[in-house]
Amino acid sequence: MTPFSDQHRELLFDYSLGLTSESETAEAERLLAESQEAEGLYEALRSVLSPLDALEVEPCPDELAERTVLRLKATSHAVSPSNRPKELFPPDQVAATIRIPFWRNWGDIAAVAAVLVLFVGVGLPTLGFARQKYWQARCQANQAAVHEGLANYAAEHEGRLPGLAVDAGSPWWKVGYQGPEDYSNTRQGWRFVREGYVSPDKFLCPARRVEGKVSFDRLKVEDYSDFPHREFIGFSIRINCPQSREVGLTPRKVLMADLNPIAERLPTDYSAEFRLRIDEELLKANSRNHRGRGQNVLFSDGSVQFFRTRLVNSPSDDIYTLAEMSDGCEVRGYERPCSEKDAFVAP
């Protein structure tokens, strides 16, 4: 077995808080089964965190939790040791010294801060907010990695991104279709994978729970012309206006977002005819990637932002529907925006 490392300690810390993905959970359990040092550290972590199990969990508004964490970050260096509250846990209850690296991203800091709050005697009602911020940050990191691949491609091709010749009547809902026709707009995303600009796992949202396990271990990307299956892509990619002449990364344009709720209702049979009646639920639903709390959106300038609603560029621009889609209308799966101002990410 490889030596016990700082990465292993961080993995066990995340595992103790319930912040690990399915694959990370399996890795943590394997580590605990093989390493006595890992088992000892995990027991120490659980001993420190065990008072959390006795707390009565109450809903905590996201805005209140976020302000609390920000205030703690801002004041943590200003409080002198003599003015700090009495320690919540006596020294004899702490079995090991736990060093937490503060170079981690905002999502990790939020999770760490939630635990440190308990150490200084200030309790947050729930760790749900910390988990939410953690998964948002992991998702944002993947979307940013996709943009990095796009930018590298553009830099090597005179600022241009690859065009995809799609007929006006082509069905964009056929994600994973491996035939010769260029149907779904996800083929353009897969091209970056095939040519080595983006790792395939970066097109997944780590926050989304899927049935079974999506594995890239033995995947030969050159054998596919699109993502192998819908489970292999957790984001929706922008469908461009057919009349658009934009060929590069134009400033502040929506490129990709967490999975469109319409994608949850797509048929699995590619030979079937797709007809979907838009209802009020579909018009209001956020992406299921983050349990309906909102969605991360990737822009062409490389920024990624979490929105609590589907309205991004303006109060009237819903990224999950076209301007003409309304309650009761029927979607056939080949619709396209009439203007570049109407951002539409699908499927």
Residue-wise pLDDT tens digits, 20-51: 777 778 888 888 988 888 888 888 877 766 66
The pLDDT of residue 111:
53
The pLDDT of residue 142:
95
Domain residues for the domain of 321 are: 140-346
120 has a pLDDT exceeding 50:
no
Residues 199 and 241 in one domain: yes
- Per-residue confidence at 184, pLDDT binned at 50, 70, 90? confident
Residues 58 and 167 in one domain: no
Per the rule left: phi > 0, alpha: psi between -120 and 50, beta: everything else, 173 is alpha
Residues 107 and 170 in one domain: no
- Per-residue confidence at 2, pLDDT binned at 50, 70, 90? low
Let me know if residue 28 belongs to a domain: yes
Mean pLDDT of the chain: 77
b (16+ CB within 10 A) / e for 1-37: eeeeeeebbebbbbbbbebbbeeeeeebeebbeebee
86 has a pLDDT exceeding 70:
no
Let me know if residue 132 belongs to a domain: no
Q: Which of 126, 156, 186 is the endpoint of a domain?
A: 126
Residues 227 and 285 in one domain: yes
Name the percent of the chain lying above pLDDT 70.
69
Let me know if residue 187 belongs to a domain: yes
pTM: 0.66
Mean local confidence (pLDDT), 65-82? 54
Report the candidate in 19, 14, 130, 125 with the shortest Cα–Cα distance to residue 69.
130
Structure confidence by residue, pLDDT tens digits, 236-252:
999 888 776 665 667 77
Alpha-carbon gap, residue 200 to 206, rounded angstroms: 13
For the chain, the domain total comes to 2
Alpha-carbon gap, residue 291 to 154, rounded angstroms: 34
